[in-house]
Chains A and B, each alone.
Chain A
Amino acid sequence: MANVKRRMIKVALAGNPNVGKSVIFNNLTGAHQHVGNWPGKTVDKKEGFHRVDDKVIYIVDLPGTYSLTALSVEEMIARDYIIYERPDVVVDIVDASNLERNLYLTMQLLELGANVVVALNKIDLAEKAGMRIDHRKLEEELGVPVIPTIAPKKKGMKELVEKIIELVEGNPRGYSGKTLCYEPRVERFIERLQGEVASREEITKLLNPRWVAIKLLEGDEDVIKKLSEIEGGREVIKKGMKLREEMSRELGDPEVVIADARYTVIKDIVSRTVGELKRLTASDLLDSVLLDKYLGIPIFFVILWWWFQIAFIGSAPFCDILGDGFAALGEVLTGITGHPFIDYLFFGEYGIIQGIGAVLSFVPLIMLLYFILSLLEDSGYMARAAFVMEKAMRKVGLSGRTIIPMIMGFGCNVPAVYATRIIPDENDRMIAILTNPLMLCGARLVFFSAIAAAFYGAYAGDILFSLYALGVVLAFMVATILRKTFFRGRASPFVLELPAYQKPSFKVAAVRMWDRGSMYLRKAVGIILIGLLIIGVLTATDAETLTFTTDPERSLVAAFGRSLAPIFTPLNWDWRFVVAMIFGFVAKEIVLGASAMLYGAGEEEIASRLASLYNPIVMYGYMTFILIYIPCIVTIAAIRQETGSWKWTIFAVVYGLILAYIVNLLIVTLGHLLLG
């Protein structure tokens, strides 16, 4: 027994989306948690520890799923974890106010042979809606422990932990662990196949025979694959396919029939354990307004407007402090090494320290955007936003949910690329990632607003708006093309639960914000450093002598810019534009500062200086180029991370450049033709 006590207890949290799983995970793990990715997948993996007395419970939060078929990456992760990692206990978090649908996953966890504890969450909401759930009766019916919980109030957490320990330490107090039988006509097939599976030890030591039988009848591709790799598996598959055929002849599509059988058992259980069942109506009024045919979309845009206002205004002081702080730090440190090249490279105005400052100064904005997104998601509104935008998005071959990362892109493309994780279909997600850089972000706005004011006077607002619109139109065009070429097929069918509205949890939002912010820091900083270093060295090295220079005109960057300049002659650029554009690669707000440096003007006067050198058409063309070309280095890092592929990352860079060039050329040519 001493052995067992010292051993770490392994617990997995499972449950549908929107059941309060994150809140329970946070309650249990507190600060002892870590967010990463499931190996090779872009699905968040949250793990943490809970300590009680001398025991340590390791808790992993499985992705939220409605079922355990081989439908999606999330479902595969959840069920493979249970099969291969064999957690001691699977805590199935069930939304008490939505018992019927939630028990569907419970049934599948039981089929899998997991050691289940049901956390009957949101029990307060259920009671408010007039449902009386007899949880002891439910326990008896399911044959596993059921603990009522109210996650936001931390109610039931202690009992949940006690029950986990009790189960692991082998005192299950007479839980039957019974098999829930389905209707006889279905059960007949399961039993016939189950017998066949159970006689093979190679299979049973890995997989639960009843589960294998059910999955084979359902025709689960992944189970067939798993079995074919096990000795004797092929015969079982053959037998399974024969029975499946027989079943579908007699009863119809086995998958539907078995689902039907599960729901029949569930309805039975619910009818015996739930005293009263009323319609929840709390969401009716809100939905009738927020989903209104005419009001829905305007309301969505008003909410967006506030989201951005709050994020930009709220983060501005922190952004300034970070930017100024690093600038001051650079100044203070200048001269400390006594080596001018290193000084320039690290502490100079375009050195590493300042560069890091520029990049870090975006972290508060990214975090705040994410924080508010998390609140909106939690409250149940984001699903409504997807609903109202579905029709418009579908026209361009995207699913309604794509609107959320697109809108976030107006703030910053980095959190937006991360936010594409809310899109379940892999093709939809790739298109959303690859088109996101076309959304005009806050960094580009820095340059555009300065230029627009100087060049276009009273029309500055219209010019800015036209750039936003151009980005959106191009994103839709590129999406349509990608949909017809690399990511064929239609936007995935739209099926989305609209969860009941609830008060969002600030704590969960704060935790998520921190996760995302720190992930950005960990992953992006390395790439940014390398980028800054390369550009720094190129700017500080004299092109002829290869020695240190502070004169950008003589630098390798200038030489590089001049050598590339002929390519951009049709666009009427001079080499300084080329170099400023290259600087923008690090972060697009640098384009303004870099132009200032190259034209030897201050940031305040650069716009009017440019106005004296270029005509408005050329300048507009240049702005469209800056809008479209290469995503900034941080966004590239995010794209690499989220596509998991260098190929598509490079694709994003290359298509951006080509598209930028074409659009710029069109604007300059047509502009001069039409306007002289």
Chain B
Amino acid sequence: MTRLIPLAFLGEGEVGRVVEIRAGRGLTRRLLAMGIAPGMKVRVLKSSGPGPILIEVGQTRIALGRGVAMKVLVGGWDAWPM
């Protein structure tokens, strides 16, 4: 597996696979329930400036605060056809 980077660092249109969530229990639970779990493919739809980012997991669009997106670590962001 390639080096891990925070989801917040992916550019628009880039795809990654969730490897680890480094957050407190409450936030981890919420993310897991919404489909942001290890092994899931995420695509970044919008990510500009310091505001929230918009990702797509499966058929779901989820907005994440930048702070949250820093706690989700993804790997293999370069090439994953979706």
Contact = CB atoms under 8 A, between A and B. Distances in A.
Q: Do A and B bind each other?
A: yes
Interface of A: 65-67, 69, 71, 97-101, 104-105, 219, 253, 255-256, 259-260, 263-264, 279-280, 283, 287, 291, 293, 383, 386-387, 390-391, 394, 400, 493-500
B61 A101 contact: no
Given A260-B39, A291-B54, A390 B60 contact: no
Nearest to B39: A260
Nearest to A278: B59
A260 B68 CA distance: 19
B interface secondary structure, majority: mixed
Given A71-B29, A101-B34, A255-B25, A494 B65 contact: yes
29 contacts: A67-B29, A98-B58, A98-B60, A100-B58, A101-B35, A101-B57, A101-B59, A104-B35, A219-B25, A255-B32, A259-B32, A260-B39, A263-B37, A287-B46, A287-B61, A293-B48, A387-B54, A387-B63, A391-B50, A391-B52, A394-B65, A493-B23, A494-B52, A495-B27, A495-B63, A495-B65, A495-B68, A497-B60, A499-B61
Contacts of B50: 391
B67 A493 contact: yes
Contacts of A496: 62-63
A383 B56 CA distance: 15
Contacts of A287: 45-46, 54, 61
A69 B54 contact: no
A287 B61 CA distance: 10
Contacts of B34: 66, 101, 495, 497
**Most chain B C-beta atoms within 10 Å of own C-beta, residue among A104, A255, A493, A499:** A493
B30 A495 contact: yes
A387 B50 CA distance: 12
Contacts of A400: 52
Interface string B12-51: 0000000001010111111111110111100001101111
A291 B62 contact: no
B58 to A, nearest CB: 5
A280 B45 CA distance: 13
A390 B45 CA distance: 17
Interface size class of B (residues with CB under 8 A): 35 or more
Nearest to B27: A493
B1 interface: no
A348 B25 CA distance: 60
A448 to B, nearest CB: 34
B30 A390 contact: no
A293 B49 contact: yes
A253 B26 CA distance: 13
B64 to A, nearest CB: 6
B1 to A, nearest CB: 15
B52 A390 contact: yes
A283 B63 CA distance: 14
B47 to A, nearest CB: 10
A293 B49 CA distance: 9
B79 interface: no
A393 B47 CA distance: 18
Contacts of A71: 26, 29-30, 33
Interface of B: 21, 23, 25-35, 37-40, 45-46, 48-52, 54, 56-65, 67-68, 82
A476 to B, nearest CB: 18
Nearest to B31: A495
Contacts of B61: 283, 287, 497-500
Nearest to A399: B65
A387 B62 CA distance: 10
A174 B28 CA distance: 38
Contacts of B64: 494-495
Contacts of B48: 293
A283 B26 CA distance: 29
A253 B31 CA distance: 14
Across the A-B interface, the 10 shortest Cβ-Cβ residue pairs: A494-B65, A67-B33, A66-B33, A391-B51, A259-B32, A498-B61, A101-B35, A98-B59, A100-B58, A390-B52
Nearest to B21: A256
A65 B32 CA distance: 13
A256 B28 contact: yes
B33 to A, nearest CB: 3
Contacts of B65: 390, 394, 493-495
Contacts of B60: 98, 101, 497
A181 B14 CA distance: 34
Nearest to B40: A263
A69 B58 contact: no
Nearest to B68: A493
Given A390-B65, A394-B65, A97 B59 contact: yes
**Most chain A C-beta atoms within 10 Å of own C-beta, residue among B28, B56, B61:** B61
Given A256-B37, A494-B63, A498-B62, A387 B68 contact: no
Given A71-B26, A390-B63, A256 B32 contact: yes
Given A495-B34, A495-B62, 4 more contacts: A255-B28, A260-B37, A493-B27, A493-B68
Given A71-B26, A291-B46, A497 B37 contact: no
A403 to B, nearest CB: 13
B2 to A, nearest CB: 19
A263 B63 contact: no
A215 to B, nearest CB: 12
A100 B59 contact: yes
A287 B62 CA distance: 12
A495 B33 CA distance: 11
Nearest to B24: A493
Contacts of A386: 63
A493 B21 CA distance: 14
Contacts of B63: 383, 386-387, 390, 494-498
Contacts of B37: 256, 259-260, 263
Contacts of A497: 34, 60-63
Nearest to A284: B45
Nearest to A279: B82
A355 to B, nearest CB: 45
B57 to A, nearest CB: 7
A116 to B, nearest CB: 18
Contacts of B31: 495
**Most chain A C-beta atoms within 10 Å of own C-beta, residue among B31, B39, B59:** B59
